[in-house]
Amino acid sequence: MSAPTVRAATSPSAHVSRRDVHARLHREIEARFAERRPVVERYGPDFAHLWQLTAEHARGGKLVRPLLLVEAHAAMSEATGRSWASEDQVLEIASAVELLHFAFLLHDDVIDGDLHRRGELNLVGALAAEHETGRSPHDARTTPSPEGLHWGQSGAILAGNLLFSQVHLVLARAHVPHEVRARLLDLLDHAITETVAGEHADIALSDRVARPDLETILATALRKTATYSFALPLRLAAVLADAPEAWVERLDTAARHLGLAFQLQDDYLSTFGDAARHGKDPHSDLREGKETAIIAFARLTSAWPRVRACFGDRALLQESAARAVEALRGCGADRFVLGLVAEHREALGTLLADDDAPHALPPRVRTLLGALDAQLVGRES
């Protein structure tokens, strides 16, 4: 650091509730969209509408990633007694992390040909529906015309690009010392490269370019999800709280365990969970032929022929799907994936319990990561 003028930590103290932080983050993300509105409106109503609709679809997330950044920063700067950023600046950077998440989702939905997310029309689907009807309400289950789909997917690519640009600009314009900003940009650079690599590997799996072995599937999940969802917020927070390098290594390890446990738990719930509770299309992973750890395990067993018959069958009937799930249970794929989840949760627990080490994470950070594990991985829907 060229200047040792470390500001006093003005991070949210323990008495600020998670609900308060969530509300402030929500307002901060709204502000990111609102501040661009006058610029966007210069280019006419269609473009302004695209931005408006993007803002609406970006709403309603759990804000897991920006919450993690804000809370980890508060916990770490309390421990270091230092922060390079004011509370408002931390919120602004956290909002950029949520925009990055949403930009990735938008391009993902285009690549996967998805029209829905969380049971409702996503941005692609909403734009496609508007194209058919001229912006009136529309039956969410109607298949759009090729022109409507083109309008929706093109809009989502462009909206994603605008958000992607904003994420970089928020970090590049952050009012922190130059060397700190350089480190934030390096973290963004790394997270984007790794996430794009993970997406590419995921597409290679679904387009049958890559071999769907367990190693490839787990490496893909790590890159596509864990890096930007857990490692990026934690490492940005660490830089802003001037945390020692020993913490950063532990945060990276924790992010890997959290990311894998979260993804594997998600795979488990999608296949074996109660569809009514988790709100997803039941058996959609089977129908789409999604290469998961469950499928990779089943391929190694005598149950595979019965699963393969259903795997990737878009017209799969409920009854056949239920039989395939039974075959997966029969070969132990459910216990296998739950075993992997438990292993990663245990490794995380061991890391978080290690309070004797000279560079152990501060207690509040360990509490935070433990709570996140319980919230994300310990869930049943």
Taking CB under 8 A as the rule, which mask of x and - marks residues 174-193 in contact with its own copies?
A: ----x--xx--x--xx--xx
Q: Which is nearer to its own copies, 140 or 169 (CB)?
A: 169
Rounded to the nearest 10°, the torsion over CA 168, 106, 64, 337 is: -120
Q: 262: Cβ–Cβ under 8 A, 6 or more apart, which residues? A: 225, 226, 229, 376, 377
Question: Residue 274 to residues 116, 174, 318: CA-CA distances in angstroms?
Answer: 20, 44, 14
- 1 near its own copies, rule: CB under 8 A: no
CB 210 to its own copies: min, Å: 7
Would you report the helix, strand and coil content of the chain in percent, each value rounded to 5?
A: 70, 0, 25
The minimum distance between CB 272 and its own copies, in angstroms, equals 29
Cβ of 312: how many Cβ atoms within 10 Å?
14
Smallest distance from its own copies to CB 324, Å: 23
The set of long-range contacts for 45-54, using a CB threshold of 8 Å and a minimum separation of 24, is 49/135, 50/127, 50/155, 50/158, 50/159, 51/159, 51/162, 53/123, 53/126, 53/127, 54/106, 54/123, 54/159, 54/162, 54/163
Nearer to its own copies, 215 or 319 (CB): 215
Identify which of residues 131 and 306 has a Cβ nearer to its own copies in the complex. 131
Closest approach, Cβ 159 to its own copies, in A, equals 9
Structure tokens at 206: 């679904």
CB of 190 to its own copies, least distance (A): 8
**Closer to its own copies at the Cβ: 144 or 282?**
144
Beta carbon of residue 271, minimum distance to its own copies (angstroms, whole number): 24
Q: Are 148 and 126 in contact (CB under 8 A)?
A: no
Q: Decide if residue 194 touches its own copies (CB under 8 A).
A: yes
What are phi and psi for residue 64, nearest 5 degrees? -55, -45
Choose the binding region for its own copies from 24-32, 202-210, 228-236, 349-357 (rule: CB under 8 A). Answer: 202-210
22, 82, 116, 150: which one binds its own copies (CB under 8 A): 150
Long-range contacts of 59-62 (CB under 8 A, 24+ apart): 59/26, 59/29, 59/30, 60/118, 61/98, 61/101, 61/102
Among 111, 214, 248, 338, binds its own copies (CB under 8 A): 111
Q: Which is nearer to its own copies, 153 or 265 (CB)?
A: 153
- Pick the closer one to its own copies by CB: 187 or 376: 187
Q: Does 196 bind its own copies (CB under 8 A)?
A: yes
Minimum CB separation from its own copies for residue 301, in Å? 27
Which residues in the 232-291 window bind its own copies by CB under 8 A?
Answer: none
**Residue numbers 42-81 binding its own copies by CB under 8 A:** 43-44, 46-47, 50
Contact pick of 6, 10, 26, 40 for its own copies (by CB under 8 A): 40
State the nearest-atom distance from the C-beta of 1 to its own copies, in Å: 15
* Phi-psi domain of 17 (left: phi exceeds 0; alpha: psi -120 through 50; beta: other): beta
CA–CA dist 37, 202 (Å, integer): 34
CB of 218 to its own copies, least distance (A): 14
| Whole-angstrom distance, CA of residue 54 vs CA of residue 47 | 11
Q: Hey, which bits of the chain come out as E strands?
A: 116-117, 120-121
User: Residue 78 and residue 243: Cα distance in Å, rounded?
Assistant: 10
Q: Residue 167's closest CA among 87, 84, 107?
A: 107
Q: Is 211 in the site for its own copies (CB under 8 A)?
A: no
Question: At closest approach, how far in Å is the CB of 128 from its own copies?
Answer: 11
Residue type, 216: T
In the complex with its own copies, the residue whose CB is nearer, 171 or 234, is 171
Alpha carbon dihedral 81, 186, 86, 70, in 10-degree steps, equals: -80
Site string for its own copies, 114-133 (x = CB under 8 A): -----------------x--
Residues lying near its own copies in the complex (CB under 8 A) are found at 36, 39-40, 43-44, 46-47, 50, 107, 110-111, 131, 147, 150-151, 153-155, 157-158, 161-162, 164-165, 168-169, 171-173, 178, 181-182, 185, 188-189, 192-194, 196-197, 199-201, 203-204, 207-210, 223
